[in-house]
């Protein structure tokens, strides 16, 4: 059972008590991410995420880390396109201490100039690291193809030039604009008591001011026709990311979409793993990913293949995508896909941290929590025709975008191949 309270300042608290656990997971979610930035502030959300851990009004950087890790807990954060989250998982007896630390560092970070100078170069090294990892950097190239001249098409890390230009006042203004209780959700799962957390929150955040408008630039309509971008590099392996515009995070077809991902590339039983790796030995790594945002999404096929066999791999991938559009999935394969989906959900919801993620994100963006029995009913009702219908809507040559890092010189052949979809 989920309990939810909205404080007078707009802060939302969502909790799930799991009495059999000895741990608690607490997350502070902020409705801001890479797509909320301007060209001038690109990279600010991620930069700020780093700085929040450097010290707050009540806690030094060392105290923040030692207070969580010193009792066996884990502390971390992440920045995405539309969210920033700070979270801790630790023994339940220390939950209020973790809550106090997380909220203080998010609401009142010090943002010291000396920390900004040091962290600036840490982030520049992070950018270099991802540039040196073609299996990661190829996704940034795909984003540029999907959303050109738009914040979604730019790296969440920001560019080297922007990170060097960002000043303390830029970051402080960004924090002041978005890091407000009415733009935040506190999510907690595990051996917790809603009333105790609520009482502590009221004492810490009850008087904070309300947020103003929190908007982003809508995703632009895509230009028709397949697009390919090749970053020529003398790599030992070619990395490719084939993307299609998908659906938003709360679309009525979201479970059908997820089941397509499972059948095509989520595990070792999937079609692409079987056809590309197991039967032909063209890749070590081949998988699909899905991402849903407020107004758009992406379905992604990622692979690392032999340099001489890129075209063959892409051809097989396109054939499999075309096949799932034209031919009904067998009942046995559909049943396995559904059981994998349901089983993965069950296993995740047993973990206090995963369950916190499960309730935190939809509360932040949709002001709702999902009902597990209702989700089971929706998954079990999916038919082969549902899969074909959604596949037809997603896998279209005119919306295909292919990013490649490697020595390939086959751009025209690849264009023709994708055009067959």
What confidence tens digit (pLDDT) does each residue in 318-350 have?
A: 999 999 999 999 999 999 999 999 999 999 999
* pLDDT for 207: 56
258 and 299 Cβ atoms separated by less than 8 Å: no
pLDDT score, position 203: 77
Secondary structure letter of residue 329 according to DSSP: P
Alpha carbon distance 37, 31 (integer Å): 12
Q: Are 293 and 81 in contact (CB under 8 A)?
A: yes
pLDDT at residue 110 in the model: 98
Burial class (CB in 10 A: 0-12, 13-18, 19+), 235: middle
pLDDT of residue 205: 66
Residue 243: enclosing H or E segment and its boundaries? strand 237-245
**Rounded distance, CA 397 to CA 224, Å?**
9
Across the range 161-170, mean pLDDT stands at 96
Confidence of residue 293 (pLDDT cuts 50, 70, 90): very high
| pTM for the whole structure | 0.96
Q: Which domains does the chain have, with CATH numbers?
A: 2-205 (3.30.830.10), 227-418 (3.30.830.10)
Helical ranges in 154-206 per DSSP H: 160-165, 168-178, 194-205
Q: What is the mean pLDDT of residues 188-206?
A: 90
Cα 363 off chain centre by: 15
Q: How far is CA 118 from CA 78, 172, 211, 285, 290, in A?
A: 19, 16, 30, 36, 35
pLDDT digits (tens, 9 = 90+) for 110-130: 999 999 999 999 999 999 999
Mean pLDDT of the chain: 95
3-state secondary structure of 30: strand
Sign of CA dihedral 276, 282, 284, 287: negative
User: How many CB atoms are located within 10 Å of the residue 30 CB?
Assistant: 26
pLDDT of residue 121: 97
- pLDDT at residue number 9: 86
**CA angle, 88 as apex, 357 and 125 as ends, to 5°?**
95
> What's the pLDDT tens digit per position in 1-60?
899 999 988 899 999 999 999 999 999 999 999 999 988 899 999 999 999 999 999 999
Rounded to 5 degrees, φ, ψ at 118 are: -70, -45
Q: What is the DSSP string of 139-157?
A: HHHHHHHHSTTSGGGS-TT
Looking at residue 220, its pLDDT comes to: 82
Which tokens sit at 188?
């907690």
Other Cβ atoms less than 10 A from the Cβ of 103: the count is 23
What are 254-270's pLDDT values in tens digits?
A: 999 999 999 999 999 99
Q: What would the mean pLDDT of 278-305 be, rounded to a whole number? A: 97
**How far apart are the C-alpha atoms of 11 and 98, rounded to whole Å?**
18
DSSP 8-state symbol, 56: B
- Of 297, 315, 307, 326, which Cα lies nearest the Cα of 414? 315
Q: Do the Cβ atoms of 318 and 418 come closer than 8 Å?
A: yes
Averaged pLDDT, 287-296: 97
Residues contacting residue 158 through CB under 8 Å, at least 6 positions apart: 42, 43, 44, 46, 47, 123, 127, 166
Please state the φ and ψ torsions of residue 70, each to the nearest 5 degrees: -70, -15
Token pair 């025709």: residue:
385
């Amino acid at each position: 059972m989920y309990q939810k309270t909205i404080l007078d300042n707009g802060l939302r608290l969502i909790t799930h008590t799991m009495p059999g656990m000895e741990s608690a997971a607490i997350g502070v979610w902020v409705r801001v991410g890479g797509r909320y930035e301007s060209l001038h502030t690109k990279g600010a959300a991620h930069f700020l995420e780093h700085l929040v851990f450097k010290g707050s009004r009540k806690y030094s950087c060392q105290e923040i880390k030692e207070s969580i890790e010193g009792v066996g807990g884990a502390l971390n954060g992440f920045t995405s396109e539309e969210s920033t989250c700070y979270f801790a998982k630790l023994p339940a007896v220390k939950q209020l201490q973790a809550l106090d630390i997380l909220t203080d560092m998010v609401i009142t970070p010090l943002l010291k100039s000396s920390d900004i100078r040091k962290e600036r170069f840490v982030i520049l090294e992070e950018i270099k690291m991802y540039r040196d990892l073609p299996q990661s950097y190829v996704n940034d190239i795909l984003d540029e193809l999907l959303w050109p001249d738009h914040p979604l098409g730019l790296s969440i890390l920001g560019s080297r030039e922007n990170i060097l230009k960002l000043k303390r006042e830029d970051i402080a203004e960004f924090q002041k604009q978005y890091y407000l209780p009415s733009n935040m959700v506190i999510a907690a799962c595990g051996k917790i008591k809603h009333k105790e957390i609520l009482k502590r929150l009221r004492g810490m955040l009850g008087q904070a001011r309300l947020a103003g408008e929190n908007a982003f630039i809508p995703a632009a309509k895509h230009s028709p026709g397949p697009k390919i971008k090749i970053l020529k590099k003398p790599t030992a392996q070619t990395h490719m990311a084939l993307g299609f515009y998908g659906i938003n995070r709360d679309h009525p077809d979201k479970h059908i979409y997820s089941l397509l991902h499972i059948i095509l590339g989520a595990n070792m039983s999937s079609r692409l793993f079987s056809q590309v790796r197991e039967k032909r030995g063209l890749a070590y790594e081949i998988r699909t990913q899905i991402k849903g945002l407020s107004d758009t999404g992406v379905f992604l096929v990622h692979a690392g293949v032999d340099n001489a066999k890129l075209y063959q791999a892409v051809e097989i991938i396109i054939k499999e995508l075309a096949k799932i559009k034209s031919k009904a999935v067998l009942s046995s394969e559909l049943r396995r896909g559904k059981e994998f989906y349901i089983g993965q959900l069950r296993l995740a919801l047993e973990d206090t941290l995963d369950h916190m993620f499960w309730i935190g994100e939809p509360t932040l963006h949709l002001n709702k929590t999902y009902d597990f029995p209702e989700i089971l009913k929706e998954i079990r009702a999916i038919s082969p025709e549902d899969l074909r219908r959604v596949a037809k809507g997603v896998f279209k040559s005119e919306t295909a975008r292919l990013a490649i890092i490697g020595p390939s010189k086959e751009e025209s052949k690849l264009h023709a191949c994708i055009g067959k979809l």
